[in-house]
Amino acid sequence: MSTFIYYLVAAGLEISGCFAFWIWLRLGKTSLWAVAGALCLTGFALVLIRIDAAFAGRAFAAYGGVYIAASLIWLWLIEGTRPDRWKAGRRKSAACGAFPDQTVSPRAIIER
């Protein structure tokens, strides 16, 4: 799988896992949501460590940009709340800045 696909899968698992705990603790649903959340978060960790990077911090920083974008998509599609243009603009700016700097910059390629 490509690095970007790993990042997308990791983001989906992390957001799903955290949302499962939100459902359990904030919405008072059954504790089975905690089990599902723990499984998703374990999957997130296992996917994220498969990123081909010389340093963990570099992989995590690049993932941060993907996470920001994925959280906006989650907010809109799953929770039904469309972000306003200012929030969306700031998050897009952060996401666009993090990913290329940590994955395709000359320094990132040399350190692999």
Enumerate the H helices of the chain as residue ranges.
3-26, 32-48, 56-77, 85-103, 106-110
Q: What is the pTM of this model?
A: 0.76
Distances (CA, A) of 60 to 6, 76, 87, 98, 108: 12, 24, 22, 10, 13
pLDDT number for residue 53: 87
Contact (Cβ atoms closer than 8 angstroms) between residue 74 and residue 80 = no
Q: Does the pLDDT of residue 96 top 80, yes or no? A: no
CB-side neighbour CA atoms (13 Å) of 69: 17
pLDDT tens digit sequence for 7-45: 999 999 999 999 999 999 999 999 999 999 999 999 999
pLDDT, position 28: 96
Q: How confident is the model at residue 36, as a pLDDT?
A: 98
- Chain segment 39-92, per-residue pLDDT in tens: 999 999 999 999 988 888 888 888 988 888 898 889 989 999 887 777 666 666
Q: Do residues 69 and 91 lie in contact, with contact meaning Cβ atoms separated by under 8 Å?
A: yes
